[in-house]
Each structure stands twice: as structure tokens, then as C-alpha cells.
A and B are shown apart, each in its own frame.
Chain A
Amino acid sequence: MKKILPFVMTMLMSMAVLAQSTVSGVVKDAQTGEPIPGATVLVKGTSKGTTTDLDGNYQLSADADAVLVFSFIGYANVEETVGSRTLINVGMATDLTELSEVVVTALGIEKESKTLGYSVSRVSGEKFTKAREISVANNLVGRVAGVNSTAPATGPGGSSRVTIRGNSSLSGSNQPLYVVNGIQIQNSNLGNAGKWDGADYGDAITAINPDDIEDITVLKGGAAAALYGQRGRNGVILITTKSGKYNQGLGIDFNSNVAIDRINDFRDFQEEYGQGTLGNAPVDQQSALNTGLSSWGGKLDGSQVTLFDGQQHPYSAVSGNNLDKFYETGVTFTNSLAISGGGETGNVRLSMGDVRNNSIYPNADYRRNTFNLDASYKLSPKWSASANVNYAKDKANRTKVNDAPGNGNFGIMFLPPNVDADYLGTGYDEMKNEIPFGPNAFTTNPYFAANRFITETSKDRVMSVASIKYAPTDWLYIRARVANDFYAFNATQITPTGTAYRPTGSLDVQRTINHNETNSDLLIGINKDLGQDFSIGVTLGGNILKMQQKVVDVNANGFAFPFLYNPGTAATNSASVSEPQKEIQSLYGSVELGFREMLYLNVTDRNDWSSTLPTGNNSYNYPSVNLSYVFSEMLNLPWMDLGKIRAGYARVGGDADVFSTSLYYGTLGAAINGQALGNVDNNVPNPNIEPLQVTEIEFGAAFQLFGNRLFTDFAFYNKQTLNDIVPVGISRASGYQNAVVNVGQIENKGFEFLLGGVPVAVGDFRWTSTFNYTINNNKVIELAEGQEILPAGESRTGRAFVQHIVGEPFAQVVAYDYMRDDAGNLILTPTGLPQAAAEPTAQGTGVHPITGGWSNDLNYKNVTLSFLIDFKYGAVIYSGTNSLAYSNGLHKGTLEGRSEGIQMSGVDVDGNPINTTVTAQNYYGAVSNISMEQVYDADFIKFRSLSLTYQFPKVGKMRNLSLSLVGRNLFYISKATPNIDPESNYNNSNGFQGLEYLGLPTTRSFGLNLSAKF
């Protein structure tokens, strides 16, 4: 009884304060059922409230007539009246538009999205973790209106190409700035195959572990990015990594993902005729070697024929599985473990990630380890500090791509139909010498290439940031921050001893790069309500960027000892050192004025001083202004949750390459009888270079209707580039070949559209769907005076080019048509073969103007099915693979006329008619040079990703356990490129958009993803 009394007393006392009752419950994600930690629960109209703990639990006392407002970033607010309830469980729905939510904007400043006069898109981290890619950038494809992400066909750990609102510079970078937790990341590519053979050494953004990403915010236009100055010229991708939460207790997150990659074999080659020439099969080993990759032999008849190995093999179609035999099943294991915790004054999150990939290309692999430490601490009520360190270590052995030497993708692709990949064995003999299989030593035996060539890269990257914040009052804060991005990169590319074309081997690349960039900035923020109607926000800041790099290159050949590639033991070696560096100083500020939460005006300005520009021309200014009008606040329509229109204007600039304003003298690598030989670049320096300029205007509108069941957002923009810094070809008689001049003018006009909603929500079933569509019309308006064409890149075949042409969109694929007379007759060679026109002509742009995607989540109780279909339209691609398939007699089109020849009619150069029959081998050899025949529409619709997730019911301490079946890059719903993947550019830079040639075949992946949270 003694124990009952206090209890009764308590009860009575509770009754006495009748209105106040304790309310508790769990806040969960309505879709996944996952608890939401850190959600805010506020008693409406008061500042009284709490936040949910790690399991989503909350508890607070409230009056019966109180209304509780549950809010959390990324979710629509939920309001519940307490009434007589003491248990209120809430399911919060994802707010897909996040239009009324807080978003991270430039410089990490958080703002309510409705106040923004420009377009911002957010993608939550979980979109990157199930059907994943090794590089986050490649996972953006189809997700965000205005963003065009393309992955070159170079294998795991390769680079990416992301452009936002088109390409705005002819020769400068067109990729956005990546900002990871406030650290500006230089995402330059570290190596590519150009016209000749080479390998993709990857880029910086591969250093990010997708499991660490909380969300990604895309600042698309100039108005959004103006505060980043010239580096934000191409838009900004802000990546925020996960952190611990205050008061959360201990949390452990574990994620495990396994994916297998299978090649896409798009070959559809003829299988009727075999190896040989002039219709004859090889008769002995020598004639087989002479016709190694020529499929102009006899009709396959099953007879026994001697091939390059001196063995008899059946003359039958056996090459069908060659790609499956050569390429392996790729496997990627990704494991991540994160531990987080938080108390009253501090929180910490530590994560580790491990990626192990075995590529489909034999002996190629990629390994990445990441460590991320994030910590925040409240030093006092007014002082707080935070730090984040991300360490990524990666190591890869990569495939060469493009040209034939050392590139195994080349030889295996073009083996004649009667040659089985197995005949090639390991590709080398017992002395480790390459076994030749054809007449050209530079076409490396694919197994020798894969087994003996070495293309290794390794990189250690540390991105760190520390900041301290002082908030003396609730309307003022000062934040100081130092961010550093460091990497040490190594690449080794070896042509091994025993290579047919270089028997003593060579060390082609031994490169070390040490890169260091520090950004120090200071920010002062003021936010104040001025009476009932007006609010003001002011931000002022300054930044100093210091970049230093050291690049050491060594190469050597003629090694004294076989298989030892030490430059010290080489007959000749050479070394070079370069140390680019720059500094940019900046001052910036912004003022935001609000009126009745309805009208917002935001004005920003930034001034940069860059060391790369000549004194006197090195200061440039970027103003921007934007306006947001939330008219739904005035209309007050019950079915309209939000309606706003917006407009923005910005001008941003860019600087020049380092060291491009003075003439420098060096020497050639070799000396003659001890005498140094002077050397000067063939680019004339320009001490009068000015910064380039991009001005952009955008208009847009956003609606959120019927209780968030339907939402839409669209934007129009017009982006003009002036004074683009362009290297133009000048007369060689001037002593030089290129001059850097301010001449380029480019236009990007576009429209971005987003439509989404919840078409079906019945009982436990919910279907969420969003569709985005972008069209970007690019046009090169002006080059140098009198200049119509700026060459940018060339295919290995020498038959197709990428050029920027006045009046046409960026990156025109230029190819040869047939030579015809004025009446349209073919002008034939004296022997009756078609020939290419004298000048190549533009066939279309290599960059898709139309991109988009349709993403869906279907959820029923514990099961969620997500899929993404994306599409790109309006670009062309020149396929060097198809060009060779014609000349080698593998293309299906070469079957026509094989036995009877091709009847030709046309005229000779003098206009006299020619009617004759030519052999198919000669005819298709000629056709392979009429490169227009190998330019295809690169349009496609692709079933990009699929995941099926089962959410296990909550057991014990486990907050969440889910298992997903995932698939990535599954199949094309439509494509128009024979024998190749339309997404198979082999180089991510400006000059190679729309050129295909013997990259690594693309893959489709399937896998399992397990996610557990304790």
C-alpha cells in the first residue's frame, strides 16, 4: 500500500493540471516505415518543442487543444491536434519538391526554398546507394532536370562528364564545381585517351563514398552559383555528407552491396564468311597471319583451315561468344560501416567504406577505401565548431582504350567469325613474347594486352574542413573556415618486354602529381525581421584560394633487363617537372529582403582577383539578382499548397590557364653533344587576356497542389558566353601555331520541366512518380574574325572530327559524305569505287540537347519497388568500330554483293559515265572511309535502374533492416546504333563528344543491397 499512495497522489496532481498532458509517440517515414531521428516537434504558436531521438521517439507535454507541428528536412510538415490522445504516432511523407523546405544554397547558407528566385534541385543520398555506381556523378543521369551526366566507356573508376545547362566554353571546362561539405573540389580529369591509345585515369569525384552522402543539391544557373564566382560558372553540385545528430545516442549503420557486371554484347556481325582476303580462306599459317583481322575470306563451310597458330581449325562461325570468353564477370563488393553518436553539446560520425571491383576486363580492377570523420561541438551557447575529414585511397589497374596498341578491346572485337578467342591462348609464349595473330604488330594480341600491359593508378585524397562559428545574438553569426583538398596521384603505364612492336618494352608514363588547394573564408550573416511585414538577411564574406601542384613525369625505353621497368636501367629516359599554381582572392556579399513571406528579393555581388590574369585585367565582378513571388500566399486557395514565380539574372566570369601571359623558355629533353637546345611553346602567350563572361537570365514557376499530390516546376533560361578564351589557329609562318584570344561567343537557351506527384495512394499502397525533361539549345555564335571552325578533336580513323562551327551547336561531329557532282551523281575513282567528298561536313552535335528521366517508387507496406527510365535525344555519334567493321568485312552490311560484286554507276572527274562492277571488299573498304555512313543517331531510352526493397519489421535494438534486389543499366528500350552502345564515348573532354572507338564494352549490373541500422 505504501507504494500505491505516491502513485495516486501523482495521478491526482496530474488531474489537477488537467490541460497539461504528456504526449509521446514515434515519428516515421510514411513510405519506408523507418524512424526519423532529429525531427522537430513543436507546439504550434509557441517555441516549445523537442526533437525525436534516434528511434524517432519523442515526448513532451502539451494542452489538449494544442496543435503539434512535426517537421523535418525533406518531408512535408504534419500537424496533429492533441485532443485526449497521449500517443501520437506520425508518418511523414517525403516532400519531393521540397519547395517549402530549407535547402542549402551557395556557400552552405541554408534558405527556405520558397524564397529563391532560381532553380535548385535536391537528390537525397539514398538514391545513390542501392542501384549504385562507383562514381556518384554517374548516378545523376536522368535524375535532375538540366543536368546531363555521361560516363565514358572506360571502366570502373573512370571519369565522368556532367554538364548543367549545356556547354558554355569552347575550350575551358564545362563541368560544374563540386563542393563537398564546403570544400571546393577540383574535378579535373587526370588522363584520357586522345586521338591515340591511352587510358582514363579517373577524376576526383570518385573519392566520395555514396553511403556517406546525406544529400546532393544542384545549383543550376548563374543566379544560384554567382556567389561561387568564376568556379560556379558551370553550376555547382553541393554534396553534404552525413553527420551525427545532437542528443541522438549511439547509432550504427551498416550497408553491404554486391553487384555483378555482365558485358553488353551489341555486336551483330555477319557470320557467313570467314577470315581471308579476295574471297579466299587462308591456305597456310603465313597467309593466316597476313589476314589476321580480315573477314573477306570464303563462305564458311566447316572445312579445316590453318590459322595464325599453325593449327587446323574448322572454317565455321565460332566467334559468337568471343566477348563472353574474353571479358569476365565483373564483381563489385561495397561495404560501409558508420558509427555515430551525439549528446547535448556534441556529435560525431565516423565511417569507413570499402569498394572492391574486379573489372570485366581481365586483370583490371579498382579498389577504394574511404574514411570519413565528422564532428560538431557546441563550445558555449555562442560558440560552436565543426570539422570534417574525408580520406579516400584508390588503386586501379585500368584498360587502355581507343587505338589498337596495348588495347585488348580492339583485337577481340574484330576477330573473324571463324576465329575463336580461345585460339589466342594467353597471348604470349614461354619467353613471355607476344604471339602475333595478324599482320600489324600495333594491333596487340588482346590476351597479351590484358595479361601483360600495365596501366596502374593510385590516389590518396584528403579533403578536410574545419570551421568555427560565433553567434553573439540570434540574428548575427560569424563563421570562419579553412578547407583543404589534397591528393597525391601516381600513374604507371608500361609497354611490357616482349611486345611485338617494342620488344624491349617502355615506360610510357610514370607520373606523380601532388595537388594542394586551400580555401580560407570568413562569413558574416545577419537575419532580422523588421516589424510585421519585412525581413532582411545580409551575408558578407571573403575567401582566399591557394592552389599548388607539382607534376613529375618520367618516361624511358630500351630496358637492360627484361621485365624490369626502372628508368635507371633504360637506354634513354627523360623527365620533366611542372608546378602550376594560382591564387584567387574574393570578396562577396548578399542581401535578401522579404515582404510578408510572399515577395523575396535577393541581390548578390562578388569580386575576384585572379593571379592567372595580367595585372590590370585581373579583377572581375559577378553581380546577380533574383526575385521570388509566392502568389499562393495571396490567393489562399485551398487546393494550392504553393504557387510561385521567380526570375533571376547573373553575370559570372572565368580566368585563364596558369602561366599563359608570358613567354617561357625551356629546353628539349635531349642535348646534342652536350649542348642544350632551346624550346618555346607553339602557343603565343597573350599578356592582354581578359576574363570570359557568362550572363544568364532565368524565369521559372513552381506549383504544389492538392496536398502535395501533384507538383510541377519549370524554368526557362538564356545563357550567353562572351569573350570566351579560345586558342585559335594562326599562320605557322608567324612562328607559332595557336594564339590565345578572347573571341568566343556561345549561347545556351533551354527549358527544364519537372512534373511529379502521387498518382495513387490507396490504403497501404502508394505510387510516387516524377518526370523531368530538359531541352538545351546550344549555338556557337562567334569565333575569331573570319574564323568559321574551331577544331576540337579527331577520331583515330582520321575520318571524323569534332569541331565547333559558327551557327551550329557545340561539338559538331564532322564526317565525309560521298563525292558527288552538281547533278548528284557519284564521282567514282577510275576503278569505279566511291570516294569521299573533298571536305567533311557537319553531321550534328555530339552532345544530347534533350535529356530526361522518369523515376518511380511503388510502395506497399514493407515492400518498395523503384525504377528509373531515362532518355537522351538529338545527338549523333561517329562509330570508329563500325568503320572498321566495314573495312574488315564484319559488318552485316558487307554481305551484300559478296559473291557477285557491287554494280557501280557514276561519273569520273571529267563527268564521263562509269558503269562497272567492283568487289565487295574494295567497295566496303571505300565505304569505311565515307565516314558519314558510320555516323548514327545517339538517341536512346534506357531502363537505367531498378530496386526492390523489403523492409524487415523492427526487431529489438535494430532501427532498420532492409534488403534490396538491384539492377543498373539494365537494357535499352530503344537505340539506333548498330554493334555499339550509344553511350560509348571514350573520353570525357570537350573535343571528344560524339566519337566512339574501342572503349571498354558497357555493362549491365545486378546485385543485392543490405542495409542495417542499430
Chain B
Amino acid sequence: MKNLSYIILTAVLLVFSGCTADFEDINTDKNRVTEGSYVPVYSLSRAQLEYSGNSDFSYDTWRVNIIYSAMMTQQLANASWYAGDKYIQNDAWANATFDVAYNDQVKYIVDLLKLTESDPLYANLHQIARINRVMIFHRLTDLYGDIPYFEAGLAFHEKNYTPKYDSQQDIYMDMLNELDEAAQALDPAGDVPGSGDLIYGNASDPIIQWRKFAYSMMLRLAMRMTEADPGAAQQWAERAVAGGVFESNADNAFINHDANGGRVTVNRNSNILSGEWNATNTGEVFLSKTFVDYLADNNDPRLGVFSRVLSSGDTDPANQIGLPNGLDQNGGEFDISTDPNFPGDITNYSTIREDVFLSLSGPTFVLNYAQVELLLAEAAQKGYSVGGTAAEHYDAGVTAAMEFLAQYNAIATIPAADITTYLAAHPYDAANGEAMIGAQYWVASFLDWYEVWSNWRRTGYPALIPVDYPSNATGGVIPRRMLYPSHEASNNPTNFAEAIERQGPNTFLTKVWWDAR
């Protein structure tokens, strides 16, 4: 009877009030939060971590950073299936960064911008988000050229399911502007993001660090335009210097990883090259002959820090042998045994020292002081007003590049005397300046092969000799860009077609805007 009266009562209430007032509450997921209860900096942490490589088993790092960029730029080599070693086209791998970066980086950083837009409590976090957004799109556009930028990441906020592709020139101009505005808007007396900022969260003055980072990133962007728009390049490079760029390795931007969280938090490169996939120890990934020879020929004190013989673990610089790119193990005309320096077995080639570079909790560098100084050297060489001479910046850059390796591991400390000796043996030569700077930048960016490849495409230094392996996709030329994913053709057809129409076919050989040499 109690039930009956309850039901009758409920039914009556239902009829007369239509009591659906608590529906919104019922349809609210209590195990997750909505905007009001969210901690915005978690989105910064996620975006930064994903920028260091995808949390799904280093998805983009493995494919674009290692398989393509590292092999194409001849720092690493592979004699089996790593397609970039031989310029073979694998669409899924060449799409990888586009595939994951928008979902796992852009979404979070764009949402963070919206969450912090007009909240004075997050005034600095908002500017930091703007700077990080540039960092993310910078890599994306360098890899693919024209990409969705202005309308990207807005499916939820603006119901834009099919963002249009913007020209790389427009993207660059806006990114530079964003860096400038954000750097100026940062308030050293304002809010600090805390340790959720994986890059500078634990610095004593994170806001000052982000300002330096913004101007250093501005310098990198500016110098990327030296061939496509020299005027703008000079203007922005000078503005960056005026704003204040990195001054020492203490300013370096990097993310420290954490082996405890498995694939989600480990160092991305390390988990593939060592760790879970262990590619350097299974005879898959070696140092390239081009890289080893460059260091050896110049008596570079870094060789023994970078390199070890796989079979013996020997780090003696005299015993390092790089694997030439473009070879296989199929017993034919491209077999590794055809290498004049073939050491009898593939395991006698050199590979990366895992104790230095491949710790699962080790850092991923985003931007370092050595790169800044080397870019300043190039700017000075080109006559830009960046203060100091090309030679001074070159020396500072090379020194920084040798010294900062200790930030990976103290065992990689290069003795100061060795650096002095090296610089004395290789004094800056203005006539050959840009080649020297380019080669040093190539070494200084080791592991950030995205950046290695971009700077090589722009400057042409170091002068790499391409391989010409059967069934390569480029006719024996080093690729100039990565490939858009085919799902864009089905899910965003109009804008995709318009981008290809403007930029050129979706191939390895179409050059991006700044690649105008």
C-alpha cells in the first residue's frame, strides 16, 4: 500500500508539474568535471607532454621523428624497415604528427586559451598558453606546410568541424605576433602556473623564463624565413634580440620524463630507442656514417659521448663506425656487406649511448641556448643587428652545445679544455660561416630531429649526400615535407582540396613556403 500511494503520488506530481527539473543533474557525469571545476593547468601539462611525443607508445616520435626525420638527416641509419632511411613512402607514418597532434596537443592548448581567456587569476597562464600554442603549430606547419591554424581545435567551442587550411606565411606572421604580444603581456608580478607547467614550473622565476622562451622562439621562427622573406626575418630576429633571448644553458627549455607512468610519461625517444622497443639494442637503429664521420673527422670531443659500438659497448672514439644510410640486409647490391668499412657484422656498427641519452626519465629538449647562439651567429653573419659578431656567437653556440650534454647526464660532461681545443682547431671562418653554423646546429639539435630536418631544409647544411634505393618515392632526393592524412580528404574535403591547390600535390617533394632556397 505504501508503494501504491507512492506511485499515485509520483504520477500525480508528474502530470501536474512535469518534474524534469533535475534532469540536468541526472545527466551530469559525477566522475569527471565540467569547466567550472576543472584545473586549467592540467591542459597545459597534457599539451606540453604530448608535444614531447605522443602518450600512445611514442606514436609520432617513432614515426616522424625517428623513422623519417632522424634517418633522412643522416644522424641515424637503419638497414631494414625504417622508411625514412631510403625515402620510401609510408603514408600512415608520414601522417603521424598530423594524426595525433591536433587531438592531443592543439585541443588542449586551444581549450586552455578559452578557459583562461578573461580570468585575471590566469592572466599569465593565458599568455603561456599562447606561447605553447605557437610551439605546437610551429612544428606542425614545418612538417606539413599549409595546415589548419586559425580555425583549428574549435570543434567544441565554435562547432567548426572542418577548419580551413591557412597558408604557412599567414601562420608564421600570426605566430610571431602572438609571441610578441604574449611576451609583452606576461606580468612577473602576476600568477605563476606552478609545477603543472612541465617546462618552467619549477624555475625560480617562471614568468621571466617564458618571456625569454617567447623571444628565443621568435628568433627561431624569424630565422626560418631567411629565404622566403629576408626582410621579415631580419625585422623579427632583431625584435627577438631586443626582447631578450636565452643567455645560458640555465635557460634551456626541456621536459623531464617519468619512467613510473609507463608509456604515458616515459621519455618518448628513449622508450623506442631503448626501453620498451629497444631499437638501438636489437640491431634496428644505428648512428649514421654521415654523423659519426663528421664528428670523427673534426676530432669532436662529443663522439665518445654520443656513440658506442653495439656489440662491445666500446665508447672509444677511435673505434666508432657509422652505418651508411640506404643499405639493407637482403644480400643484394645494397647489402650492408657492400660497405667498404663493413665491420663483419651489423652489431659492430655504432649506435646511440643509452646511458647518456636514453634514460626513460630523461629530458626532451624543446629549445636550447646553443641553438639560440647559433641562430644569432647566422643572423650576425647576414648583417642583422643582433649584437656581437658572428664569431662570438658561433663560439658561444658551440660551447653551449658541448656543455649542455651534461644536462642529459653528468657523465656526458665535456672537459672545458677539450672545448677550447676544439674551437681553436675550428675557428669561425666567415667565408664558410653558414656551413659551419649549419653543421653545428645539426649536432646541437640531436634527438630533436624535427628541428634538425627543418633547419637542414632551410639552409642546406650540412651538405648531405642522398641515397638512391630502389622503390624510393622521391627519385633519390631527400624529402621536403611530410604527408597530409587521407582522412582529411574524406572529413574535410573542400579545405583539403583548396590547400593542395595552393601548396602543391601532397607528396614528399612539395616544398613548404619557407623552404625557398
Could you say which of A615, A658, A675, A731 contacts B492, with CB atoms under 8 Å apart?
A: A731
Question: What does DSSP make chain B's interface, helix, strand, loop or mixed?
Answer: helix
Contact A672 B258, CB 8 Å, known A520-B7, A585-B19? yes
User: Are A672 and B99 in contact, with the CB atoms below 8 A?
Assistant: no
CA distance A481 to B495 in the complex (A): 57
B277 within 8 Å of A by Cβ? Answer: no
User: Are B4 and A733 in contact, with the CB atoms below 8 A?
Assistant: no
B103 within 8 Å of A by Cβ? Answer: yes
Distance from A544 Cβ to chain B, minimum over Cβ atoms (Å): 6
Residue of B nearest to A612 (CB): B27
User: Are B14 and A674 in contact, with the CB atoms below 8 A?
Assistant: no
User: Are B14 and A587 in contact, with the CB atoms below 8 A?
Assistant: yes
In the complex, chain A residues whose CB is within 8 Å of the CB of B401: none
A578, A587, A661, A731, most chain B CB atoms within 10 A: A731
B262 within 8 Å of A by Cβ? Answer: yes
A732 within 8 Å of B by Cβ? Answer: yes
In the complex, chain B residues whose CB is within 8 Å of the CB of A736: 103, 107, 155-156
In the complex, chain B residues whose CB is within 8 Å of the CB of A663: 34-35, 156
User: Are B14 and A665 in contact, with the CB atoms below 8 A?
Assistant: no
Could you say which of B22, B155, B265, B488 contacts A735, with CB atoms under 8 Å apart?
A: B155
Contact A668 B264, CB 8 Å, known A729-B491, A733-B488? yes
User: Are B102 and A611 in contact, with the CB atoms below 8 A?
Assistant: no
In the complex, chain A residues whose CB is within 8 Å of the CB of B45: 672, 675-678
A664 within 8 Å of B by Cβ? Answer: yes
Could you say which of A481, A542, A675, A734 contacts B162, with CB atoms under 8 Å apart?
A: A734
User: Are B103 and A659 in contact, with the CB atoms below 8 A?
Assistant: no
B33 within 8 Å of A by Cβ? Answer: yes
User: Are B11 and A522 in contact, with the CB atoms below 8 A?
Assistant: yes
User: Are B257 and A672 in contact, with the CB atoms below 8 A?
Assistant: yes
Distance from B97 Cβ to chain A, minimum over Cβ atoms (Å): 11
Residue of A nearest to B471 (CB): A830
In the complex, chain B residues whose CB is within 8 Å of the CB of A12: none
CA distance A673 to B163 in the complex (A): 35
User: Are A671 and B148 in contact, with the CB atoms below 8 A?
Assistant: no
Residue of B nearest to A686 (CB): B159
B475 within 8 Å of A by Cβ? Answer: no
User: Are B18 and A658 in contact, with the CB atoms below 8 A?
Assistant: no
Distance from A351 Cβ to chain B, minimum over Cβ atoms (Å): 25
- Contact-size category for B: 35 or more
Give the segment of B36-44, B177-185, B295-303 that binds chain A.
B36-44
B490 within 8 Å of A by Cβ? Answer: yes
CA distance A735 to B107 in the complex (A): 5
User: Are B42 and A678 in contact, with the CB atoms below 8 A?
Assistant: yes
In the complex, chain A residues whose CB is within 8 Å of the CB of B147: 733
CA distance A565 to B153 in the complex (A): 41
Could you say which of A468, A674, A682, A734 contacts B153, with CB atoms under 8 Å apart?
A: A734
Contact A786 B11, CB 8 Å, known A670-B262, A672-B265, A734-B155? no
A1010 within 8 Å of B by Cβ? Answer: no
Per-position 1/0 for B478-492, Cβ under 8 A of A: 000000010110111
CA distance A518 to B161 in the complex (A): 39
Distance from A971 Cβ to chain B, minimum over Cβ atoms (Å): 45
CA distance A583 to B28 in the complex (A): 12
CA distance A1005 to B413 in the complex (A): 75
Contact A731 B491, CB 8 Å, known A581-B26, A659-B28, A684-B155? yes
A667 within 8 Å of B by Cβ? Answer: yes
In the complex, chain B residues whose CB is within 8 Å of the CB of A671: 258, 261, 265
User: Are A582 and B27 in contact, with the CB atoms below 8 A?
Assistant: yes
B345 within 8 Å of A by Cβ? Answer: no
User: Are B42 and A667 in contact, with the CB atoms below 8 A?
Assistant: yes
Contact A609 B23, CB 8 Å, known A578-B31, A733-B148? yes
A521 within 8 Å of B by Cβ? Answer: yes
User: Are A658 and B27 in contact, with the CB atoms below 8 A?
Assistant: yes
User: Are B261 and A670 in contact, with the CB atoms below 8 A?
Assistant: yes
In the complex, chain A residues whose CB is within 8 Å of the CB of B490: 729, 789
In the complex, chain B residues whose CB is within 8 Å of the CB of A581: 26
In the complex, chain A residues whose CB is within 8 Å of the CB of B8: 480, 522
CA distance A735 to B155 in the complex (A): 6
CA distance A577 to B152 in the complex (A): 32
A480, A521, A669, A729, most chain B CB atoms within 10 A: A480
CA distance A599 to B478 in the complex (A): 83
Per-position 1/0 for B241-282, Cβ under 8 A of A: 000000000000000111011101100000000000000000
In the complex, chain A residues whose CB is within 8 Å of the CB of B258: 671-673
User: Are B26 and A480 in contact, with the CB atoms below 8 A?
Assistant: no
Per-position 1/0 for B150-183, Cβ under 8 A of A: 0011111000111100000000000000000000
User: Are A670 and B103 in contact, with the CB atoms below 8 A?
Assistant: no
CA distance A663 to B46 in the complex (A): 17
Residue of A nearest to B108 (CB): A678
User: Are A611 and B26 in contact, with the CB atoms below 8 A?
Assistant: yes
CA distance A786 to B489 in the complex (A): 12
In the complex, chain A residues whose CB is within 8 Å of the CB of B29: 578-579, 658-659, 662, 664
Residue of A nearest to B33 (CB): A665
User: Are A732 and B23 in contact, with the CB atoms below 8 A?
Assistant: no
In the complex, chain A residues whose CB is within 8 Å of the CB of B28: 659, 662
B106 within 8 Å of A by Cβ? Answer: yes
User: Are A542 and B26 in contact, with the CB atoms below 8 A?
Assistant: no
In the complex, chain B residues whose CB is within 8 Å of the CB of A87: none
B110 within 8 Å of A by Cβ? Answer: yes
B15 within 8 Å of A by Cβ? Answer: yes
In the complex, chain A residues whose CB is within 8 Å of the CB of B7: 480-482, 520-522
Contact A544 B14, CB 8 Å, known A658-B27, A732-B487? yes
Residue of A nearest to B115 (CB): A665
A730 within 8 Å of B by Cβ? Answer: yes
Distance from B195 Cβ to chain A, minimum over Cβ atoms (Å): 6
Contact A579 B31, CB 8 Å, known A734-B155, A735-B102? yes
User: Are B20 and A572 in contact, with the CB atoms below 8 A?
Assistant: no
A685 within 8 Å of B by Cβ? Answer: yes
Residue of B nearest to A671 (CB): B261
Contact A665 B110, CB 8 Å, known A678-B42, A732-B99, A736-B103? no
CA distance A589 to B38 in the complex (A): 45
Distance from A711 Cβ to chain B, minimum over Cβ atoms (Å): 42
A973 within 8 Å of B by Cβ? Answer: no
Contact A680 B3, CB 8 Å, known A544-B14, A572-B262? no
A26 within 8 Å of B by Cβ? Answer: no
CA distance A665 to B111 in the complex (A): 11
B55 within 8 Å of A by Cβ? Answer: yes
A466 within 8 Å of B by Cβ? Answer: yes
User: Are B4 and A468 in contact, with the CB atoms below 8 A?
Assistant: yes
CA distance A25 to B420 in the complex (A): 121
Distance from A270 Cβ to chain B, minimum over Cβ atoms (Å): 30
User: Are A665 and B32 in contact, with the CB atoms below 8 A?
Assistant: yes
User: Are A680 and B491 in contact, with the CB atoms below 8 A?
Assistant: no
In the complex, chain B residues whose CB is within 8 Å of the CB of A682: 103
Residue of A nearest to B485 (CB): A732
User: Are B111 and A680 in contact, with the CB atoms below 8 A?
Assistant: yes
Could you say which of B161, B201, B256 contacts A734, with CB atoms under 8 Å apart?
A: B161
B49 within 8 Å of A by Cβ? Answer: yes
Question: Which residues of A628-679 have CB atoms within 8 Å of chain B's CB atoms?
Answer: 658-659, 661-679
Distance from A213 Cβ to chain B, minimum over Cβ atoms (Å): 27
CA distance A662 to B264 in the complex (A): 26
In the complex, chain A residues whose CB is within 8 Å of the CB of B235: none
B286 within 8 Å of A by Cβ? Answer: no
Contact A666 B264, CB 8 Å, known A520-B10, A587-B14, A615-B24? no
17 contacting pairs across A/B (C-beta < 8 A): A468-B1, A480-B7, A520-B6, A582-B26, A583-B23, A587-B14, A670-B260, A671-B258, A672-B264, A675-B195, A675-B196, A675-B201, A677-B49, A729-B490, A730-B492, A731-B148, A732-B99
**15 new A-B pairs (CB below 8 Å) besides A578-B29, A615-B24, A732-B488?**
A542-B15, A572-B260, A665-B42, A670-B261, A670-B264, A671-B261, A675-B195, A677-B45, A677-B46, A678-B38, A678-B108, A732-B102, A732-B491, A734-B161, A736-B103
* Cβ-closest 10 pairs across A and B: A670-B261, A678-B42, A735-B107, A734-B155, A731-B492, A733-B148, A735-B153, A664-B32, A730-B161, A670-B264
